[in-house]
Amino acid sequence: MNFKKICVIGLGYIGLPTASTFAARGVKVLGVDNNPRIVETLSKGEIHIHEPGLRDIVKAALASGNFSVSTKPEEADAFLIAVPTPFQENKFGEYNGVTYKLADMRAVISAAESITPFLRKGNLVVLESTSPPRTTMDLVAPILARSGLQAGRDFHLAYSPERVLPGQILRELIENARVIGGVTPESAQAGHDLYKIFVKGEIVKTDATTAEMVKLMENTYRDVNIAIANEFSRLADKFGVDVWEAISIANLHPRVKILSPGPGVGGHCISVDPWFFVETAPELTPLIYHARKVNDAQPHFVVELVQRALGSLKNKKIAALGLAYKPDVDDLRESPANEVALLLQEEGAQVKAWEPFKPDANLPGIDMASSLEDAIKDADAIILLVKHTEFINFKPEEIVKKTKARVAIDTVNGWNDEAWKNAGFELFRLGVNKSQIGNQ
């Protein structure tokens, strides 16, 4: 198939990089977002999200005339849907006493509805949003059928998940392998032809439901593996073992690769996607469900560690370093660090948070510091919640001059015991219970 013009619905973390990458390859791209503020920001050449290199490629795409933005779709050769699929806020599912979260598919529904009037014979529609299994067949195809055209017969329909890592989106978009699941083999081939325009990684063709399941399997696999690492951190704490040492030794085994424990699992993917399996098959997913529960409970384990370090938290001043959901990104969605800060406050602590990637973040109930110095100056303890490179590079002998705190708490294995001890701090580390160590 030949693609002269494509329409990308949803200009967020995935839609915007995808749209501008296509435009950079000479395809005419109309980027569509139903939020007029986003469209206005982009038309001024500004961008509303932080991702290395994105500003430049968007600017170049707009300047080339290949990329334009609007709140409404137009006729095109292909339509890509890259809209969010978060949880429903107030509705939960229940199975055998187990409560689970439900996907909010409203954005996918309205994106498909917005395309329907512009759909023509021979077009290709691709859903990229992470979705519960069978969404392409059972939700999207029937909506598009309201055009009078049938998926697989009159137009091509496929599911192709994004698999890029925030912070490296532009590179991974091009280099990663891509899966295209068509509602027919011809639809998969049409999707292949489209992404071939910029994808250098392998493009694998399959059916739509397999592609949906592959996406959820990848993130669920990671979630379950992080859950076992987090559970190991609790066991190590109980048995007086340094979990980080134990993991590094276990990982010398050629078939073992234990991930890192931490304050929990955040972001809009790994902490969300496993629920799409639970929602659609609660009777088949006890492991996936419990892994989610383990990871969601990890912030409570961090609070216990802080209590061990400080005793009662009432009126204790705590400097929380990092609020992002993972290192070196500005994304605060579903962040376990945020959860830890709120839980510490529930215990009576006064938390001041410093997030260098988003210093002016406005999070309910969180007191943001204006600088590192402001956060740590009067603190009783400093807690490291995100492994940002600049935090890891701290020189404790410099930090000690800027703070009253003599207690440091490391939830991500970012700081060196000796260095912090030599500078005059007592260092507490997640997964290491000093009172138990040597007590074996």
Lay out the site mask for ligand SAJ across 78-117 (x = CB under 6 A, - = otherwise).
Answer: ----------------------------------------
Q: Tokens 């929602």 sit at which residue?
A: 279
Contact between 385 and ligand SAJ by CB under 6 A: the answer reads no
Per the annotation, the verdict on 269 as an active-site residue is yes
Among 154, 218, 296, 374, binds ligand SAJ (CB under 6 A): 218
Minimum separation from the CB atom of position 302 to ligand SAJ (A):
12
Q: Does 228 bind ligand SAJ (CB under 6 A)?
A: no
Contact 211, 160 (CB under 8 A): yes
| Residues from 257 through 296 that contact ligand SAJ (CB under 6 A) | 259-260, 262, 265-267, 269-270
Task: Report, in Å, the least distance between residue 249 CB and ligand SAJ.
Answer: 17
Size of the site for ligand SAJ (CB under 6 A): 20
226 binds ligand SAJ (CB under 6 A): yes
Cβ proximity to ligand SAJ: between 262 and 299 the closer is 262
Scan residues 334-363 and list those touching ligand SAJ (CB under 6 A): none
Residues 174 and 201 sit within 8 Å (Cβ to Cβ): yes
Neighbour-count burial for 310-328, b at 16+ CB within 10 Å, e otherwise: beebeebbbbbbbbbbbbb
Residue 291 phi/psi, 5° resolution?
Answer: -60, -45
Q: Which is nearer to ligand SAJ, 165 or 249 (CB)?
A: 165
Among 50, 59, 134, 222, the residue binding ligand SAJ under the rule CB under 6 A is 222
Which of residues 260 and 345 has its CB atom nearest to ligand SAJ in the complex? 260
**Interaction between residue 219 and ligand SAJ (CB under 6 A):** yes
Residue 99, φ and ψ in degrees, nearest 5? -100, 135
215 is catalytic: yes
Q: Show the beta-strand stretches assigned E in 112-247.
A: 124-127, 156-159, 178-182, 203-207
Minimum distance between the CB of residue 327 and ligand SAJ, rounded to whole angstroms? 7
Q: Please identify, among the stretches 52-60, 162-170, 177-185, 392-400, the one whose residues bind ligand SAJ according to the rule CB under 6 A.
A: 162-170
Among 23, 144, 157, 164, binds ligand SAJ (CB under 6 A): 164
DSSP symbols for 310-336: HS--TT-EEEEE--SSSTT----TT-H
> How many CB atoms within 10 Å of residue 164?
20
The two structure tokens encoding residue 86: 């978060």
- Asked whether position 423 contacts ligand SAJ by CB under 6 A, the answer is no
Contacts of 38 (CB under 8 A, 6+ apart): 11, 48
The nearer residue to ligand SAJ, 98 or 214, going by C-beta atoms, is 214
Q: Which two tokens stand for residue 1?
A: 């198939």
Of 295 and 433, which CB lies nearer to ligand SAJ in the complex structure? 295
Nearest residue (CB) to ligand SAJ, 3 versus 232 = 232
- Candidates 67, 195, 325, 428: give the one binding ligand SAJ (CB under 6 A): 325
User: Pick from 163, 192, 205, 388: which binds ligand SAJ (CB under 6 A)?
Assistant: 163
Residue span binding ligand SAJ (CB under 6 A) among the ranges 108-116, 145-153, 219-227, 245-253: 219-227
Grouping H, G, I as helix, E, B as strand and the rest as coil, residue 151 is strand
Q: Which SS3 state, helix, strand or coil, does residue 291 take?
A: helix
Q: Measured between alpha carbons, how far is 342 from 363 in angstroms, rounded to an integer?
A: 10
User: Quick one: CA dihedral 125, 126, 130, 136, positive or negative?
Assistant: positive
Place of tokens 């996406």: 215
* Choice among 101, 269, 326, 352 that is catalytic: 269
**Selected catalytic residue, list 101, 215, 326, 352:** 215
Nearer residue to ligand SAJ within complex by CB, 331 or 380: 331
What strand order describes the sheet that includes 78-81?
Answer: 67-70, 28-32, 5-9, 78-81, 124-127, 156-159, 178-182, 203-207
Q: Which amino acid would we find at residue 235?
A: L
Q: Look at residue 16 and give its three-state secondary structure.
A: helix
Q: What Rg value do the Cα atoms of the chain yield, rounded? A: 24
**302 touches ligand SAJ by CB under 6 A:** no
Instruction: Kindly state whether residue 166 participates in binding ligand SAJ, applying the rule CB under 6 A.
Output: yes
Q: Which stretch binds ligand SAJ (CB under 6 A): 33-41, 214-222, 374-382, 415-423?
A: 214-222
Q: Which is nearer to ligand SAJ, 77 or 242 (CB)?
A: 242
Q: How far apart are the two ends of the chain, measured CA to CA in Å?
A: 68
Q: How far apart are CA 233 and CA 220, in angstroms?
A: 20
Contact positions vs ligand SAJ (CB under 6 A):
130, 162-166, 218-219, 222, 226, 259-260, 262, 265-267, 269-270, 325-326
Q: Which amino acids are annotated catalytic? A: 215, 269
